[in-house]
């Protein structure tokens, strides 16, 4: 009876082990794993918020623990399965469990979790009529503006914050009958969830049916299996996903579909909303209140399908049936800040624990996924043909080294010029892809030969002519274009290379009769502009669409008869182990935008490296050949996916101290190797490829081994005793894909 209970608590710190606290009597009946608590931490007994991760009986040695001071949540924020998943992420990605929890649980959920119901507001049903005849104060108008553009009810506090007012205007608007107060509960449906016109299923072709049959096997057997759906662009993968999800939904279960953030377009969302009754969309631009609301909806089980970017892998579905990751090769599935998890690996772990299948879909799978399928760890499901027997478009490699137009400074070579001309003449549409935004991607001094760099970063500045500025694409530093070189004061400053803005100008001048539209992150800042631009292209109002990655994905316009890759070298020349893989992926994705109707289509790729294997294999649409070639190279270098790596980045304001710290960490790791961990290679320390970023010097080192466990063992053996100077920070990136 006199059992003493203790709580294990983790904090938002890079520490792996939980702290143990005594549970005061008054909290004994209330505390559960998954709730937040306040507890004294460290010698100064600072009161810090942490997460209770376990409640258990104390052993005799634990009678004199510090007690928890406050319990912050009435209900757990996470169920035991999600708690286990977050623990695993900390272990797998070498960061603190508390850091993972802090990142995974949306801020809005944490803040409002203490109350079951949140006072929220929506526009009243007949408000639009009344608005015409009602005079509003400036603040009242601001409140109305927020509510009219919001897709779900907005919590009172959030509404005041966004409208920049106190609670007064809310009360008066309510009295006028313009807005309605509601208590958010799971049974309320906002317009995010209203169903769209439901479309019936399309008929599957034989290839799609075979793929679906294979996917349904583990779904029907309630087993975990990872299936790599390798389908060429235009093979109809989405329809296969939808049918698999339909099966899962028919069992009363939920499905999560992860797509790259850049593909989370209204078109993509519509494809799911047209086919399922309740679809939730999770993206990075949601307000805290919207996210909280969605989280509750999902947790209540009222949502069939969750479509979202990376972090949707944590959607709290009570009865998960399937996870689909579309375009699994996209680097954005890896988080670039702590916890640096890869959504694919988190999904794999979650599906394994919940005994449900995982589908990884791509026309160009990562070599990591491909190798697993080759080794029969995952199941390969192939869709090598396009729907309706349409051929993949012919890809022509154009060597631009002696091109007369290019040597005169144009970016459109002779072959490309002729192809665009004839495509336009035949009333076809054209897509031009260029991976560099801005006007001129390099600012350079002809006198001293130095590239003109950002003062905060080791990155050359890019000219943006539309706002007459040079900009750093790493830290957003911006200044007016220099008239003289900052190094030698010579006036011979040149702006070289072509970004999308300059291409836009050139294409407009070269084809004055055509309407040209540019799509990149600079021109598509306004909400809705993306949809609007694509609509103009779809309707035929625009003949030439040019842009960055934004136009490389998912677009399906039957009238596109020509796709041009303006400069394949920009991807190929990156100092990155994955440069060839990325080049292959991009050419294949861009090529996938044409030849989707009986009109056919072709692809032109301009390069100065026509013999590069990535370019050659891509021109033949030969993913398997490319994968074999590239895997052989990686094997020779003992690089991933044949080894696992972890990168440690040290950053600090003082160059010498940062370098010395990096060297000291590398030495510590080398000398700590013993037993099995002698097989861990420690490479470096060396300057990071971008040695300065946002004013910080950066040095890195790398651990490489046959498996993660060896790396973890070595890291943990030194981590606790590492003492870094106060002004040097470290980050650890397991399975890094960002080489900067
Ligand atoms: Zn100079
Ligand atoms: Zn910068």
Using one digit for the tens of pLDDT, what is the confidence trace for 306-350? 999 999 999 999 999 999 999 999 999 999 999 999 999 999 999
Strands 493-496 and 442-445, sheet pairing: antiparallel
Q: Which residue has the higher pLDDT, 249 or 530?
A: 249
Distance 489 CA to ligand 1 centre (A): 6
Q: What is the pLDDT of residue 2?
A: 56
Q: Which two tokens stand for residue 470?
A: 């040079």
Q: What is the pLDDT of residue 117?
A: 53
Q: What is the pLDDT of residue 164?
A: 83
Of the listed ligands, the closest to the CA of 451 is 1
Q: What CATH number belongs to 390-441+497-626?
A: 3.40.50.300
CB 591 within 8 A of CB 604: no
The CATH number fitting domain 119-183, selected from 1.10.10.10, 3.40.190.10, 1.10.1200.10, 3.40.50.150: 1.10.10.10
pLDDT band at 515 (very low <50, low <70, confident <90, very high): very high
| Rounded Cα–Cα distance for residues 690 and 60 (Å) | 53
pLDDT band at 554 (very low <50, low <70, confident <90, very high): low
| Rounded Cα–Cα distance for residues 5 and 20 (Å) | 10
Looking at 426-514, list the stretches that DSSP marks H as alpha helix, in order from N- to C-terminal side: 500-510
Q: What is the pLDDT of residue 112?
A: 59
Contacts 24+ apart (CB under 8 A), 155-161: 155/112, 155/118, 155/119, 155/120, 155/184, 155/289, 155/292, 156/118, 156/119, 156/120, 156/121, 158/108, 158/287, 158/288, 158/289, 159/120, 159/121, 159/289
Residue with tokens 């080398």: 670
Inform me whether the pLDDT recorded for 527 exceeds 80: no
Within a 10 A sphere around the Cβ of 61, how many other Cβ atoms?
A: 7
Nearest to 246 by CA among 264, 218, 219, 209: 219
Which CATH superfamily does the domain covering 206-388 fall into?
P-loop containing nucleotide triphosphate hydrolases (3.40.50.300)
Distance 461 CA to ligand 2 centre (A): 8
Distance 529 CA to ligand 2 centre (A): 27
CATH architecture of 5-105: 3-Layer(aba) Sandwich (3.40)
Residues 187-212: what's their mean pLDDT? 71
Q: What is the pLDDT of residue 600?
A: 81
* Whole-number Cα distances in Å, 356 to 32, 314, 479: 27, 15, 52
Distance 522 CA to ligand 1 centre (A): 29
Residues 226-232: what's their mean pLDDT? 96
| Rounded Cα–Cα distance for residues 17 and 36 (Å) | 17
Of the listed ligands, the closest to the CA of 476 is 2
Nearest to 53 by CA among 107, 15, 3: 15
Query: What percentage of the chain reaches a pLDDT higher than 90?
Result: 58
Summary mean pLDDT of the chain? 89
Of the listed ligands, the closest to the CA of 488 is 1
Residues 703-730: what's their mean pLDDT? 92
CATH architecture of 644-734: 2-Layer Sandwich (3.30)
Distance 439 CA to ligand 1 centre (A): 21
Distance 639 CA to ligand 1 centre (A): 39
Inform me whether the pLDDT recorded for 633 exceeds 70: yes
Q: What is the pLDDT of residue 387?
A: 87
Q: What angle do CA 440, 402, 492 make, to 5 degrees?
A: 35
Distance 453 CA to ligand 2 centre (A): 8
pLDDT band at 270 (very low <50, low <70, confident <90, very high): confident
Q: Model confidence over 347-372: pLDDT tens digits?
A: 999 999 999 999 999 999 999 999 99
Distance 348 CA to ligand 2 centre (A): 36
Strands 602-607 and 560-565, sheet pairing: parallel
Q: Model confidence over 149-186: pLDDT tens digits?
A: 877 778 787 888 888 888 888 888 988 888 887 665 43
Strand partners, 652: 697, 728
CB neighbour burial string for 374-392, b if at least 16 within 10 angstroms, e if fewer: beeebbbbbbebbbeebeb
**Any residues with CB less than 8 A from the CB of 50 and at least 6 apart, and which?**
9, 10, 11, 12, 19, 36, 37, 38, 39, 41, 98
DSSP 70-91: EE--SS-SS-HHHHHHHHHHHH
Of the listed ligands, the closest to the CA of 478 is 2
Inform me whether the pLDDT recorded for 16 exceeds 80: no
C-alpha torsion sign, points 442, 443, 449, 450: negative
CB 499 within 8 A of CB 439: yes
Distance 484 CA to ligand 1 centre (A): 8
Distance 581 CA to ligand 2 centre (A): 27
Within a 10 A sphere around the Cβ of 365, how many other Cβ atoms?
A: 24
Phi/psi of residue 387, each to 5°?
Answer: -65, 155
Nearest to 199 by CA among 271, 250, 254, 141: 271
Same topology, domains 119-183 and 644-734? Answer is no
Q: What is the pLDDT of residue 658?
A: 96
* Whole-number Cα distances in Å, 524 to 269, 430, 529, 736: 18, 19, 6, 29
Residues 554-561: what's their mean pLDDT? 83
**Any residues with CB less than 8 A from the CB of 606 and at least 6 apart, and which?**
398, 400, 406, 413, 416, 564, 565, 566, 567, 568
Inform me whether the pLDDT recorded for 195 exceeds 60: no
Q: Which residue has the higher pLDDT, 411 or 14?
A: 411
Q: Model confidence over 49-79: pLDDT tens digits?
A: 999 999 998 887 766 889 999 898 888 888 9
- Domain segments of the chain as ranges: 5-105, 119-183, 206-388, 390-441+497-626, 644-734
Inform me whether the pLDDT recorded for 113 exceeds 80: no
Distance 485 CA to ligand 1 centre (A): 4
Inform me whether the pLDDT recorded for 187 exceeds 50: no
DSSP 326-342: ETTT-GGGB-SSSS--B
Q: Model confidence over 645-681: pLDDT tens digits?
A: 999 999 999 999 999 999 999 999 999 999 998 999 9
What's this model's pTM, rounded to 2 decimal places?
A: 0.85
Region of poorest pLDDT, from 105-109, 165-169, 692-696, 728-732: 105-109
* Whole-number Cα distances in Å, 358 to 222, 299, 424, 446, 668: 12, 20, 43, 54, 40
Sheet (strand 462-464) strand order:
462-464, 469-471, 478-479
Of the listed ligands, the closest to the CA of 692 is 2
Q: What is the pLDDT of residue 643?
A: 95
Q: What is the pLDDT of residue 190?
A: 40
């Amino acid at each position: 009876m006199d059992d003493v209970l203790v709580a294990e608590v983790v904090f938002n710190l890079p520490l792996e082990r939980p702290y143990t606290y005594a549970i005061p009597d008054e909290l004994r009946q209330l505390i559960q794993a998954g709730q937040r608590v306040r507890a004294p931490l460290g010698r100064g007994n600072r009161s810090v918020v942490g997460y209770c991760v376990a409640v258990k009986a104390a052993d005799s040695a634990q009678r004199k623990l510090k007690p928890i001071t406050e319990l912050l949540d009435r209900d757990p924020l996470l169920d035991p399965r999600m708690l286990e998943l977050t623990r695993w992420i900390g272990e797998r990605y070498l960061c603190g469990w508390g850091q993972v929890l802090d990142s995974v649980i949306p801020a809005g959920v944490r803040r409002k979790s203490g109350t079951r119901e949140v006072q929220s507001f929506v526009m009243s049903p007949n408000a639009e009529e009344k608005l015409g005849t009602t005079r509003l104060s400036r603040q009242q108008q601001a409140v109305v503006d927020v509510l009219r553009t919001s897709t779900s009810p907005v919590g009172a506090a959030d509404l005041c914050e966004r409208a920049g007012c106190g609670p007064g205007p809310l009360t008066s608007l309510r009295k006028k009958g313009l807005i309605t107060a509601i208590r958010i509960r799971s049974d309320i449906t906002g317009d995010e969830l209203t169903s769209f016109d439901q479309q019936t299923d399309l008929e599957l072709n034989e290839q799609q049916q075979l793929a679906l049959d294979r996917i349904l096997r583990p779904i029907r057997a309630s087993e975990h299996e990872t299936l790599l759906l390798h389908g060429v662009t235009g093979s109809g993968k989405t329809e296969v996903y939808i049918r698999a999800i339909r099966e899962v939904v028919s069992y009363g279960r939920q499905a999560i579909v992860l797509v790259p953030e850049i593909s989370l377009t209204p078109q993509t969302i519509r494809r799911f909303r047209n086919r399922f009754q309740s679809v939730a969309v999770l993206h990075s631009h949601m307000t805290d209140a919207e996210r909280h609301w969605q989280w509750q909806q999902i947790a209540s089980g009222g949502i069939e399908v969750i479509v979202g970017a990376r972090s949707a892998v944590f959607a709290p579905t009570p009865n998960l049936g399937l996870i689909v990751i579309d375009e699994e090769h996209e680097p954005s599935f890896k988080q670039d800040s702590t916890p640096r998890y890869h959504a694919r690996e988190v999904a794999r772990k979650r599906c394994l624990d919940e005994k449900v299948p995982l589908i990884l879909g791509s026309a160009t799978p990562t070599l990591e996924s491909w190798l697993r399928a080759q080794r029969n760890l995952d199941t390969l499901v192939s869709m090598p043909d396009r729907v309706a027997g349409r051929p993949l478009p012919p890809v022509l490699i154009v060597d631009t080294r002696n091109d007369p137009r290019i040597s005169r400074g144009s970016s459109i070579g002779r072959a490309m010029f002729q192809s665009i001309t004839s495509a336009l003449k035949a009333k076809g549409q054209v897509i031009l892809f260029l991976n560099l935004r801005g006007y001129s991607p390099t600012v350079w001094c002809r006198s001293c030969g130095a590239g003109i760099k950002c003062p905060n970063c080791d990155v050359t500045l890019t000219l943006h002519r539309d706002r007459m500025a040079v900009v750093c694409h790493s830290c957003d530093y911006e200044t007016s274009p220099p008239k003289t070189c900052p190094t030698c004061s010579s006036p011979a400053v040149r702006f070289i290379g072509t970004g999308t803005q300059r291409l836009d100008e050139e294409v407009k001048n070269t084809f004055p009769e055509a309407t040209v539209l540019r799509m990149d992150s600079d021109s598509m800042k306004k909400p809705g502009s993306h949809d609007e631009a694509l609509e103009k292209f779809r309707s035929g109002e625009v003949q030439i669409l040019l842009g960055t990655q934004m136009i490389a994905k998912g677009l399906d316009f039957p009238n596109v008869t020509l796709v041009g890759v303006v400069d394949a070298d920009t991807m190929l020349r990156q100092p990155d182990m994955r440069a060839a893989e990325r080049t292959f992926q991009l050419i294949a994705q861009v090529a996938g935008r044409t030849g989707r109707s009986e009109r056919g289509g072709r692809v032109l790729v301009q390069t100065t490296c026509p013999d590069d294997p990535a370019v050659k294999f891509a021109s033949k649409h030969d993913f398997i050949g490319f994968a074999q070639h590239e895997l052989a190279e990686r094997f020779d270098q003992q690089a991933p996916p044949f080894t696992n790596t972890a990168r440690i980045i040290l950053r600090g304001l003082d160059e010498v101290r940062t370098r010395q710290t990096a060297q000291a960490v590398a030495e510590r790791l080398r000398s700590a190797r013993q037993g099995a961990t002698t097989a861990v290679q420690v490479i470096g320390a060396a300057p990071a490829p971008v040695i300065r970023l946002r004013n910080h010097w950066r040095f890195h080192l790398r651990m490489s081994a046959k498996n993660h466990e060896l790396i973890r063992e070595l890291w943990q053996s030194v981590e606790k005793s590492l003492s870094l100077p106060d002004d040097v920070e470290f980050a650890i990136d397991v399975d890094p894909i960002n080489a900067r």
